[in-house]
Amino acid sequence: MKVFALTFAYNEHFFLPRWVAYYGAQVGHENLFVLDHGSTDGSCEGLGRVNVISVPRSDYDEVKRVDFASHFHRALLNYYDAGFAMDVDEFIVADPAKYRNLQDFAARGGALALACIGLELLHARSREADFVASLPILAQRHHVLFDSWICKRSFARVPVRFGGGFHTSTAPVEFDDDLFLFHLKNFDYQHRLERQVTTSQWDYAGNFGDHAKRPVDYVKSIFDGVDDKLAAGQLSTDFAFREERQQCLDRTVMNPSSEYDFNLQGGFQSARLHVVPPHFRHLF
């Protein structure tokens, strides 16, 4: 079973090495593909057997990005049996209690394309210390929110066309109980503050990147909300998210781009924070 993983990078000195280490262990370093959009910090150098495709720096354009992802994913399926596509701060996990890695998951499953169970990994500042770079992230961050926007359409073994942000695709929506996507944008308060300053200074084509341009007060409100939920006892150990997944399915419509979409009228999050099971915490 040949499986690949595809992502995009621009000066990702923090996330890219972690992405390479994680997905290299999942599918093999030689099966990783990184589109380098003009990095200048050296983060796309010295990655060993990883396949780096370099393109000139230009304004951030989500239409171009997902168009490349769709065509390149389709082309790679001439040589691979299945592939994952995601942002560099997204870590897709097949339940480690049931699967050795993502390659094992792909080999044993039959779905042609899947939406991931989307989880926003969060820094609970009232309970968790600042991030220590020498330790695994999931050993330090134990709380997630289900977020329909993070239920990316990231896995396919047949050609599909991805919509913006991988939020939609031309494949019908199907979930698997054991396939999760952890989004790490908010895994650490200080890191997110610094990241917000960085992305707000990028040049964007069209109307893309509105969330990346918001002031740091917006970031503070996210983390204040996490602490508020904990203070109110809004915490659960359930990790199946069956009701949330069914809500996604019930909301699915065909959008104007002829893609299956469950966020067309806006996304939603779980009401409670959920605790990451201990057997996940060694993964990254």
With cut-offs at 50, 70 and 90, classify the pLDDT of residue 272.
very high
Nearest CA-CA partner of 149 in 121, 184, 175, 118: 118
Name the burial class of residue 204, with classes exposed (0-12), middle (13-18) and buried (19+) by CB atoms within 10 angstroms of its CB.
middle
pLDDT at 209 over 60: no
Give just the sign of the alpha carbon dihedral 133, 134, 137, 141: negative
Q: Is the pLDDT of residue 215 over 80?
A: no
Dist CA 168 CA 137 (whole Å): 28
Least confident of 62-71, 213-222, 227-236, 272-281: 213-222
Average pLDDT, integer, range 97-123 = 97
For the CA atoms of 124, 128, 132, 134, the dihedral, rounded to the nearest 10 degrees, stands at -100
Q: What is the DSSP string of 168-236?
A: -BSSPP-EEEEEEEEE-TTS-HHHHHHHHHHHTTS-BSTTTTTGGGS-HHHHHHHHHHHHHHHHTT-EE
What total number of domains does the chain contain? 1
Q: In terms of residue numbers, what domain contains 228?
A: 3-280
Per the prediction, the chain carries an average pLDDT of 94
The answer on pLDDT for 208 being more than 60 is no
Question: What pLDDT sits at residue 207?
Answer: 62
pTM of the full structure: 0.93
Strand partners, 253: 261
Kind and range of the H or E run holding 247: helix 242-251
- pLDDT, position 210: 60
Cβ(132)–Cβ(192) under 8 Å? no
- What values do phi and psi take at 64, rounded to 5? -65, -40
Share of the chain above pLDDT 70, in %: 94
pLDDT value of residue 249 = 98
Which token pair is 77? 């399926």
- Rg (the chain; Cα; Å): 18
Size of the chain, expressed as the number of residues it contains: 284
The single-letter code of the amino acid at 142 is: H
- The mean per-residue pLDDT over the stretch 202-212 comes to 61
Question: Is the Cβ–Cβ distance between 122 and 273 less than 8 Å?
Answer: yes
Give the lowest-confidence range in 72-86, 173-187, 203-217, 235-249: 203-217
- CB contact set of 211 (below 8 Å; sequence gap of 6+): none
Token look-up 């790490």 returns: 184
Q: Given this model, what pLDDT does residue 200 score?
A: 67
Q: Output the CA torsion sign for 75, 79, 83, 86.
A: negative
CA distance 99 to 81: 18
Judge whether 60 and 34 are in contact, CB under 8 Å: no
CA quadruple 9, 187, 156, 167: dihedral sign: negative
Q: In this predicted model, what pLDDT tens digit does every residue of 131-190 receive, in sequence order?
A: 999 999 999 999 999 999 999 999 999 999 999 999 999 999 999 999 999 999 999 999
SS3 of 274, please?
strand
| pLDDT band per the 50, 70, 90 thresholds, residue 50 | very high
Residue 141, pLDDT score: 98
Residue holding tokens 């990316």?
Answer: 152
- Name the percent of the chain in helix, strand, coil, to the closest 5: 30, 25, 45
pLDDT at 241 over 60: yes
pLDDT reported for residue 203: 66
Enumerate the β-bridge partners of residue 269. Answer: 147
pLDDT band at 202 (very low <50, low <70, confident <90, very high): low
